[in-house]
Amino acid sequence: MRVARDEVEVQLDIPGAVIRQRMNFGDASGCGPISCEFFTLAAGVDTTPLFQGLEGNLCQCPHWGYVLQGQLTTTDAKGSQETVHAKDLFYWPSGHNVKVDQDAEIIMFSPQHEHRKVIDHMKSVLNRPA
C-alpha cells in the first residue's frame, strides 16, 4: 500500500505542528519484536537475485516504512507493481521484490525474526563462490 504524505488525513494542525494519521496501515499483531532499519540504496539495485531460494524467490517479511528520498518499485508474486517516492509511507506485505529506481534512503520497521532470516539469506547469496 502506497500513501503519499498529502493523502494522509490531518488530525491536528496547530502552529509548529501538523499531525497526520493513516488508520489500518497493516497489522503487526503476532509479529513479535519489531526491528527498525535505515537503508541507503543506489539506483539500479534489484533484490530479485538476492531472494533466489526464498519461498517464491521473494522476501517473505512484511515491512512498514517511510521514503526519505528517492524512488523504489516493488513487484509481488502476481506481478503487480507499486512505486513509492520521497515522503511516502509504505507497507510491503510478505512476498515482494524491490528495484531502486532513483538513489534512495528509507526507514523500515519489520518483524525482526523474519527479516533477520531474509538478511542472512542475502548474505549467504553474496558469499557464494562465483
Q: Is residue 7 part of a domain?
A: no
Q: Is residue 48 part of a domain?
A: yes
Q: Is residue 23 part of a domain?
A: no
Q: Is residue 93 part of a domain?
A: yes
Here the CATH number for the domain that contains residue 72 is: 2.60.120.10
Residues 63/109, Cβ–Cβ less than 8 Å: yes
Q: What angle do CA 8, 12, 15 make, to 5 degrees?
A: 120
Give pLDDT tens digits for 26-60. 788 888 889 989 999 999 999 999 999 999 999 99
Could you tell me what percent of the chain has a pLDDT over 90? Answer: 68
Q: Which domain holds residue 47?
A: 33-126
Q: Is residue 13 part of a domain?
A: no
Report the C-alpha gap between 106 and 122 in whole angstroms. 18
Q: Is residue 4 part of a domain?
A: no
How many independent structural domains does the chain possess? 1
Q: Is residue 94 part of a domain?
A: yes
Give pLDDT tens digits for 88-109. 999 999 999 999 999 999 999 9
Q: Is residue 59 part of a domain?
A: yes
